[in-house]
Amino acid sequence: MSSPPKVLILGIGNLLWADEGFGVRCVEALAAGWRFPPNVTLLDGGTQGIYLVDQVREADVLVVFDAVDYGLAPGTLKRVEGDAVPKFMGAKKMSLHQTGFQEVLALAELLGGYPAHLLLIGVQPLALEDFGGSLRPEIRGRIGPAIAIAFEYLRDFGITPSPLDRVAAQGVNLPHPALGITAYELGRPAPEQACRVGDARVLSRIPAAAGAD
Amino acid sequence: MTVTATPNGFDLDNGGRRVVVDPVTRIEGHMRCEVNLDENNVIRNAVSTGTMWRGLEVILKGRDPRDAWAFTERICGVCTGTHALTSVRAVEDALGIDIPENANSIRNIMQLTLQAHDHLVHFYHLHALDWVDVISALSADPKATSELAQSISDWPLSSPGYFRDIQTRLKRFVESGQLGPFMNGYWGNPAYKLPPEANLMAVTHYLEALDFQKEIVKIHTVYGGKNPHPNWLVGGMPCAINIDGVGAVGAVNMERLNLVSSIIDRTIEFIDRVYIPDLLAIASFYKDWNYGGGLSSTSVLSYGDIPDHANDNSAANLMLPRGAIINGDLSKIHEVDLRDPEQIQEFVDHAWFRYDDETKGLHPWDGVTEPNYVLGPNAKGTSTRIEAVDEGAKYSWIKAPRWRGHAMEVGPLARYIIGYAQGNPEFKEPVDKLLTDLDLPLPALFSTLGRTAARGLEASWAAHKMRYFQDKLMANIKAGDTATANIDKWEPRTWPKRAKGVGTSEAPRGALGHWIVIEKGRIDNYQAVVPTTWNGSPRDPAGNIGAFEAALLNTPVAKADEPLEILRTLHSFDPCLACSTHVMSPDGEELTRVKVR
């Protein structure tokens, strides 16, 4: 029997920007509630761009949780598999800080070692422009269904996570406890303590995100 | 047409055509740049706008100061560790916490690792494509490329067959539609000057650098426990040292120390034998392109970093220099005090914030972040869709920091100019050698290319200093000192009721400061002045322009709708934009939108 595939379950996005944190929160929820076999790695990738290329290249099976913009109704889950996952790079970046995950995938392909199996589980976000905010309830409610999609996919690779009785300690590749979703939400300064909104363009985008684009 | 002379020595003319360069991202914002071109396509006015507001106090107020580093590590996907380091330093400064010598060495290795890594990735992954025409590399002769490579370095990967293989791989990628990673550039633009062979060599090293960079960051995994998002600790470093440990979870043992040591050797080798020779080779074709100096010849600032010994923040103990140069007088290095309310001040009369008196600046400890988003009377468009900002009024979400009223450039070039002016051989000798090799005079350093060169020299400097601190750490451990953390003042009951602190570092892209006020064990105020705040700053009440704006002036642009020269100069600063661009979109969104009006 061949050795089990190396599986990377990766959550990406910035947890400081409301629904942008969906991917990281999915991985956090997975770690808190489930036990995985040793060939599975859970990783909070944050917004790390190029730092993630190597992790991606090492994986045989890659499952990515992210907030995606496919122009769907907010909260809609989008499942994209294999070559349908976009990968491209742009040379006209203003900053290194614009290395998107598509570019991470393109670089992995360019350097060799692209994962044989790839699944993207995305959610259409409701609100992004809320610095210091957390997931909107509608989006948070999609963590469970998103995880179910991942489990169904992973079953084909012989992976069936077992539920944990108690909430587990933080894993090594997860957010620092101060950034755990509960501590993060409870510790947020009140609006009257620290102003939350600044820009009319920002304000204008929140209702726009709720409607069809 | 109005021509204005700024107090810091630049002539601005906002007539002619206005070109807007706006990075397109999912989240509204980041940075945009508008320039006015005269009839000869020369930039006569430049306006840099930070379009997103991300005050840290919005998130940190009321939280535990010992956790602040973890939050600051998330504001940016590239500069993670340097924010964390600056944050723990601010808290330690406020509470009077000393750290062990080993923690100082390890932090320096972490910070230097970031410098070396960031500079390398910046050069090959972002900036090289401003100078290197990828498509031209396809027509290179691999044999001639091999001869070129062997003439500049003894790096072994240089055979004609090797370059031919890479060229074939590259062709396949360029021809493969969706995977044509390089199809988005301004290829063929007359501003590209390299012959095809130099382009092929550079593209080959682009791939090698991408492959190699993953090794460097393993150092963060060893000392920070994990990567991405390594762990930090107020009072030291969270890694225990157990020299005899075998496979111990979390503890740094001999095997891990040796791993770091070998990565350092390879980092030095790659930078000195690939990066630096490439830099020289590319620069030799662009010696006539001497634009982009901006403020560098007159006003540069560095807070200093890399303390040789722990708990000594005097300028003499800092291996990266601290100081300020103003009015172009390299004979006088001014001492910089980040606590002095008269030195660093932030102004908002051109920024979308409100002060009671906007003719005056505020020191970060007294910093106020109250948004006030209004467009000036000459702005074009609407408040939700700006076509052109009015730089006579408020036009940026970046405040304008000033040092004793002067707009300053920060970053590798600033550090090297200050080190050079001090006569420190660690900085002066490599600069003199570079200038001699390229047959250029000292003023050539004050340019976009000089900024790029200083970054390369600093990458080499950082890699060698990693070796210094790794050796120092090993010697200290062998002498029996394995302490990495001081937890005497971990408990808030040991803290004063109110405390103020400042933490500084030299991030790869420049001087970084975090100012904290702690009240009853909780964060009361937290202000960060980041390098891009300095370099990308808007104008101030006196009319001084910031480093981006100054650097773009008087640059000729070959094609107005292909702002290659603008990106070249902005990239040379390694600008930091808020990192939240990771929401996927199904199509290949163009990352930078250009509009000519």
Residues of chain A in contact with residue B60, where contact means CB-CB under 8 angstroms, are: 189
Distance CA(A205)–CA(A130), nearest Å, equals 11
Tokens of B251: 């503890």
Q: Running DSSP on this structure, what letter comes out for residue B123? A: I
Closest-CA residue in chain A for B179? A88
Q: A101 and B584 in contact by Cβ < 8 A? A: yes
Same domain, B8 and B133: no
Query: What residues contact residue B428 under an 8 Å CB cut-off, 6+ apart?
Result: B419, B420
Q: Running DSSP on this structure, what letter comes out for residue A200? A: H
What is the identity of the amino acid at B423? Answer: G
Q: What is the ipTM of this complex?
A: 0.84
Query: What residues contact residue B287 under an 8 Å CB cut-off, 6+ apart?
Result: B438, B439, B440, B444, B449
How far is B25 from chain A, CA to nearest CA, in Å?
A: 8
How far is A196 from chain B, CA to nearest CA, in Å?
A: 7
Q: B178 and A70 in contact by Cβ < 8 A? A: no
Residues of chain A in contact with residue B387, where contact means CB-CB under 8 angstroms, are: none
Average pLDDT, chain B: 89
B207 neighbors B166 (Cβ within 8 angstroms): yes
Confidence of residue B560 (pLDDT cuts 50, 70, 90): confident
Assess whether pLDDT exceeds 70 at residue A50.
yes
Same domain, B276 and B371: no
How far is B314 from chain A, CA to nearest CA, in Å?
A: 33
B242 neighbors B492 (Cβ within 8 angstroms): no
Same domain, B297 and B229: no
Q: B58 and A45 in contact by Cβ < 8 A? A: no
Q: A101 and B577 in contact by Cβ < 8 A? A: no
Distance CA(B315)–CA(B308), nearest Å, equals 11
Q: What is the pLDDT of residue B77?
A: 63
Lowest model confidence (mean pLDDT) among A12-16, B202-206, B316-320, B547-551: A12-16
Assess whether pLDDT exceeds 90 at residue B386.
no
Q: What is the pLDDT of residue B372?
A: 86
Angle between helices B101-121 and B196-216 (to 10 degrees): 150
Average pLDDT, chain A: 81
Q: What is the pLDDT of residue B588?
A: 36
Assess whether pLDDT exceeds 70 at residue A213.
no
Assess whether pLDDT exceeds 80 at residue B58.
no
Query: What residues contact residue B262 under an 8 Å CB cut-off, 6+ apart?
Result: none
Instruction: Judge if the upstream peptide bond of residue B371 is cis by omega within 30 degrees of 0.
Output: no
Same domain, B160 and B298: no
Q: B74 and A193 in contact by Cβ < 8 A? A: no
Q: What is the pLDDT of residue A166?
A: 65
How far is B342 from chain A, CA to nearest CA, in Å?
A: 26
Same domain, B421 and B310: yes
- Quick one: CA torsion of B148, B150, B151, B153, rounded to 10 degrees? 120
**B531 to each of B73, B249, B399, B534, B544, how far by Cα in Å?**
15, 37, 12, 5, 18
Residues of chain B in contact with residue A129, where contact means CB-CB under 8 angstroms, are: 27-28
Confidence of residue B148 (pLDDT cuts 50, 70, 90): very high
- How large is the average pLDDT for residues B36-52? 90
Same domain, B441 and B571: yes
Closest CB from B75, B217, B586 relative to A16: B75
Interface of A with B in 48-107 (CB under 8 A): 48-54, 66-70, 86-103, 106-107
Distance CA(B374)–CA(B388), nearest Å, equals 13
Closest CB from A52, A68, A111 relative to B583: A68
Q: B576 and A97 in contact by Cβ < 8 A? A: yes
Same domain, B534 and B398: yes
Residues of chain A in contact with residue B587, where contact means CB-CB under 8 angstroms, are: 86
Specify which residues A10 forms β-bridges with. A43, A64
Tokens of B529: 């002045």
Confidence of residue A159 (pLDDT cuts 50, 70, 90): very high
3 state DSSP class of B400? strand
Tokens 């070109």 belong to which residue? B19
Query: Selecting from 3.60.110.10, 3.40.50.1450, 3.30.1300.10, 3.90.226.10, what CATH number does the domain A7-210 have?
Result: 3.40.50.1450
Distance CA(B583)–CA(B25), nearest Å, equals 9
Distance CA(B137)–CA(B201), nearest Å, equals 8
- How large is the average pLDDT for residues A53-75? 91
Domain assignment present for residue B427? The answer is yes
Assess whether pLDDT exceeds 50 at residue B239.
yes
SS3 per-residue string spanning B256-300: HHHHHHHHHHHHHHHHHHHHHHHHHHHHHCCCCCCCCCHHHHCCE
Query: What residues contact residue B412 under an 8 Å CB cut-off, 6+ apart?
Result: B119, B451, B454, B455, B457, B458, B508, B510
Q: Which of A164-173, B10-19, B141-150, B370-379 holds the top average pLDDT? A: B141-150
- How large is the average pLDDT for residues B487-498? 96
Tokens of B168: 């074939």
Q: A14 and B579 in contact by Cβ < 8 A? A: yes
Instruction: Check if A21 contacts B (Cβ < 8 Å).
Output: no
Confidence of residue B74 (pLDDT cuts 50, 70, 90): confident
Q: A201 and B384 in contact by Cβ < 8 A? A: yes
Give the domain-ending residue among B236, B258, B287.
B287
Q: B61 and A193 in contact by Cβ < 8 A? A: yes
Which residues constitute the domain of residue B559?
1-53+293-446+522-597
Give the mutation candidate from B131, B584, B591 for the A interface (greatest A CB count, under 10 A): B584
Distance CA(B276)–CA(B454), nearest Å, equals 11
Same domain, B131 and B218: yes
Q: B67 and A102 in contact by Cβ < 8 A? A: no
Same domain, B543 and B414: yes
Q: A131 and B58 in contact by Cβ < 8 A? A: yes
pLDDT per residue as tens digits for the range B189-221 = 888 999 999 999 999 999 999 889 989 989 998
| pTM over cut 0.80 | yes
Q: Which of A121-125, B459-463, B533-537 holds the top average pLDDT? A: B459-463
What value does the CA radius of gyration of chain B take, rounded to a whole number of Å? 24
- How large is the average pLDDT for residues B105-134? 92
Domain assignment present for residue B497? The answer is no
Confidence of residue A205 (pLDDT cuts 50, 70, 90): very low
Domain assignment present for residue B30? The answer is yes
Give the domain-ending residue among B242, B264, B287.
B287
Lowest model confidence (mean pLDDT) among B353-362, B382-391, B433-442: B382-391
**B9 to each of B437, B442, B443, how far by Cα in Å?**
31, 20, 17
Question: How many CA within 13 A on the CB side of residue A120?
Answer: 26
Q: CB neighbours (10 Å) of residue B155? A: 17
Closest-CA residue in chain A for B568? A94
Q: B577 and A17 in contact by Cβ < 8 A? A: no
3 state DSSP class of B233? strand
Phi, psi of B546 (to 5 degrees): -85, 180
For Cα atoms B524, B75, B532, give the angle at the middle one, nearest 5 degrees.
95
Length of chain B: 597
Q: What is the pLDDT of residue B228?
A: 80
Give the domain CATH number at B386.
1.10.645.10
Q: A46 and B229 in contact by Cβ < 8 A? A: yes
Domain assignment present for residue B14? The answer is yes
Return the higher-pLDDT residue of B2 and B274: B274
SS3 per-residue string spanning B402-453: EECCECCECCHHHHHHHHHHCCCHHHHHHHHHHHHHHCCCHHHHCCHHHHHH
Q: How many domains does chain B have?
A: 2
Distance CA(B313)–CA(B142), nearest Å, equals 52
How far is A152 from chain B, CA to nearest CA, in Å?
A: 23
Same domain, B269 and B143: yes
The proportion of chain B whose per-residue pLDDT surpasses 70, expressed as a percent, equals: 91
Q: B181 and A45 in contact by Cβ < 8 A? A: no
Same domain, B203 and B276: yes
Q: A92 and B591 in contact by Cβ < 8 A? A: yes
Lowest model confidence (mean pLDDT) among A33-37, A145-149, B103-107: A33-37
Question: How many CA within 13 A on the CB side of residue A4?
Answer: 15
How far is A3 from chain B, CA to nearest CA, in Å?
A: 23
Lowest model confidence (mean pLDDT) among A105-109, B235-239, B438-442, B526-530: A105-109
Residues of chain B in contact with residue A139, where contact means CB-CB under 8 angstroms, are: none
Q: Running DSSP on this structure, what letter comes out for residue B365? A: G
Q: What is the pLDDT of residue B21?
A: 80
Instruction: Check if A133 contacts B (Cβ < 8 Å).
Output: no
Q: B179 and A51 in contact by Cβ < 8 A? A: no
Q: What is the pLDDT of residue A202?
A: 40
pLDDT per residue as tens digits for the range B568-595 = 998 899 886 543 333 333 333 444 555 5
A179 neighbors B70 (Cβ within 8 angstroms): yes
Instruction: Check if A167 contacts B (Cβ < 8 Å).
Output: no
Residues of chain B in contact with residue A198, where contact means CB-CB under 8 angstroms, are: 53, 352, 371, 373, 397
Domain assignment present for residue B74? The answer is no
The DSSP bridge pattern shows strands B510-519 and B498-507 to be antiparallel
pLDDT per residue as tens digits for the range B155-169 = 999 999 999 999 998
Same domain, B215 and B356: no
Confidence of residue A71 (pLDDT cuts 50, 70, 90): confident
Question: How many CA within 13 A on the CB side of residue A192?
Answer: 0
Confidence of residue A68 (pLDDT cuts 50, 70, 90): confident
3 state DSSP class of B497? coil
The DSSP bridge pattern shows strands A40-46 and B300-307 to be unpaired
DSSP sequence for B503-572: EEEEETTEEEEEEEEEETTEEEEEEEE-HHHHHT----TT----HHHHHHTT-B-SBTTB-HHHHHHHHH
A180 neighbors A28 (Cβ within 8 angstroms): yes
Tokens of B584: 């996927």
Taking one residue from A and the other from B, the number of pairs with CB-CB distance under 8 angstroms is 257
Give the domain-ending residue among B241, B266, B287.
B287
